[in-house]
């Protein structure tokens, strides 16, 4: 078993990004700039946005966090997005999900200029991804692809089973793995809560992507010997044993599954760190106008 070390890989890629950000600053007289809008006080969301801002600073980007109370109207939020769409000093614009119930996430996603949509959730970017055209790829699947690439895992011909079909992880992951590319060229099965005989489906997998949101959901009896395992899950539990007051668990029962796997990501220290890298790479590409001019 080999650990897919998100800390090691993310630090290496962030060094490259920092070098490119420096060159961008020299050429343009300003830094790449990411703006994140956060609505309300969800504990997880506040932590993720703070981490995104911190990572921007680490690699030499400007970052702005616009924080609204959860009673902001959808109209006011869309007006702010429109203003930021027009602002030439803003390269990347993200709205942290989930949003309060009175705000429609689809309408917010579509309000963002697809050329600044560094989360890769806009239908234009999703459509272009499906057709293997240059686009912003959603940060978590992008980070996973970078991880598979770094460890030179040849995925061609693998049976890949993705568990979870969300718009931000499972669904785009299934598209990327099926594309004619490396990593890619997998035979993909996309599973969800209505899948029959999930255990049998997962047992056939050479590559498992677990994106469910349930602690230790994938257990050793569901895993084929030698499978590659990517654990996307972040399940927070209150703990008196950690400084932060909570402990993170993946969707994979690491202790029982690790010895059966060929490669496996830990939680924490795996996909979460790569997600940040995906976002930073998209923001740099947006600033450099590499995808859309």
Return the active site residues: 52, 96, 119
How far the first Cα of the chain sits from its last, in Å, is 44
Residues 12-71 that bind ligand NDP (CB under 6 A): none
Mapped onto helix, strand or coil, the DSSP state of residue 109 is: helix
The answer to whether 165 is annotated as binding is yes
Rounded to the nearest whole angstrom, what is the least distance from the CB of residue 76 to ligand NDP in the complex? Answer: 26
Rounded to the nearest whole angstrom, what is the least distance from the CB of residue 86 to ligand NDP in the complex? Answer: 29
Whether the CB-CB separation of 61 and 33 falls below 8 Å is answered with yes
The answer to whether 103 is annotated as binding is no
- Residue facing ligand NDP at closest CB distance: 166
Mapped onto helix, strand or coil, the DSSP state of residue 77 is: helix
Pairing label, strands 263-264, 2-3: parallel
Name which position in 166, 182, 216, 262 contacts ligand NDP (CB under 6 A). 166
Say whether residue 268 binds ligand NDP (CB under 6 A).
Answer: no
Residue with the two structure tokens 């979460």 = 272
Name which position in 161, 173, 229, 232 contacts ligand NDP (CB under 6 A). 232
- The alpha carbons of the chain give a radius of gyration, in whole angstroms, of 19
Whether the CB-CB separation of 293 and 134 falls below 8 Å is answered with no
Residues 96-155 that bind ligand NDP (CB under 6 A): 140
Say whether residue 271 binds ligand NDP (CB under 6 A).
Answer: yes
In the beta sheet, which residues pair with residue 73? none
Pairing label, strands 235-238, 246-249: antiparallel
Helix, strand, coil shares, percent, the chain, to 5: 40, 15, 40
Name which position in 234, 252, 279, 285 contacts ligand NDP (CB under 6 A). 234
Rounded to the nearest whole angstrom, what is the least distance from the CB of residue 81 to ligand NDP in the complex? Answer: 21
Rounded to the nearest whole angstrom, what is the least distance from the CB of residue 198 to ligand NDP in the complex? Answer: 5
Rounded to the nearest whole angstrom, what is the least distance from the CB of residue 272 to ligand NDP in the complex? Answer: 4
- Find the length of the chain: 293
Name which position in 33, 115, 165, 281 contacts ligand NDP (CB under 6 A). 165
Closer residue to ligand NDP, CB minimum distance, 227 or 234 = 234
Name which position in 17, 169, 218, 227 contacts ligand NDP (CB under 6 A). 169
Whether the CB-CB separation of 203 and 223 falls below 8 Å is answered with yes
Say whether residue 266 binds ligand NDP (CB under 6 A).
Answer: no
Say whether residue 247 binds ligand NDP (CB under 6 A).
Answer: no
Rounded to the nearest whole angstrom, what is the least distance from the CB of residue 246 to ligand NDP in the complex? Answer: 13
- Rounded distance between C-alpha atoms, residue 131 and residue 210, angstroms: 24
DSSP code at position 25: H
Name which position in 96, 174, 275, 283 contacts ligand NDP (CB under 6 A). 275
Half-sphere exposure of 35 toward its Cβ, with a 13 Å CA cutoff? 20
Say whether residue 194 binds ligand NDP (CB under 6 A).
Answer: yes
Count other C-beta atoms under 10 Å from residue 263's C-beta.
18
Say whether residue 192 binds ligand NDP (CB under 6 A).
Answer: yes
The contact set with ligand NDP (CB under 6 A) reads 140, 163-166, 168-170, 191-195, 198, 211-213, 232-235, 271-272, 275
């Amino acid at each position: 078993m080999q650990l897919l070390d998100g800390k090691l890989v993310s630090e290496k890629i962030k060094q490259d990004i920092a070098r490119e950000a420096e060159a961008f600053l020299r050429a343009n007289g300003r830094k790449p700039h990411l703006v994140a809008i956060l609505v309300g006080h969800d504990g997880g969301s506040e932590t993720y946005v703070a981490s995104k801002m911190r990572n921007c600073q680490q690699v030499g980007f400007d970052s702005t966090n616009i924080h609204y109370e959860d009673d902001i109207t959808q109209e006011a939020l869309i007006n702010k997005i429109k203003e930021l769409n027009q602002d030439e000093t803003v390269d990347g614009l993200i709205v942290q999900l989930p949003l309060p119930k009175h705000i429609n996430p689809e309408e917010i996603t579509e309000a963002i200029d697809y050329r600044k949509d560094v989360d890769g959730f806009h239908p234009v970017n999703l459509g272009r991804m499906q057709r293997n055209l240059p686009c912003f790829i959603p940060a978590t699947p992008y980070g996973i692809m970078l991880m598979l690439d770094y460890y030179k895992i040849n995925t061609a011909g693998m049976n890949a089973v993705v568990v979870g079909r969300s718009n931000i992880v499972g669904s785009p992951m299934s598209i990327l793995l099926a594309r004619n590319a490396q990593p890619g060229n997998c035979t993909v099965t996309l599973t969800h809560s209505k899948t029959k005989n999930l255990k049998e489906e997962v047992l056939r997998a050479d590559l498992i992507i677990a994106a469910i949101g349930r602690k230790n959901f994938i257990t050793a009896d569901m895993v084929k010997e030698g499978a590659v395992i990517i654990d996307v899950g972040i399940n927070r539990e209150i703990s008196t044993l950690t400084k932060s007051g909570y402990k993170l668990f993946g969707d994979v029962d690491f202790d029982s599954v690790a010895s059966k796997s060929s490669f496996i990501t830990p939680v924490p220290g795996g996909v979460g760190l790569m997600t940040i890298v995906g976002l930073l790479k998209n923001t740099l590409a947006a600033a450099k106008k590499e995808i859309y001019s």
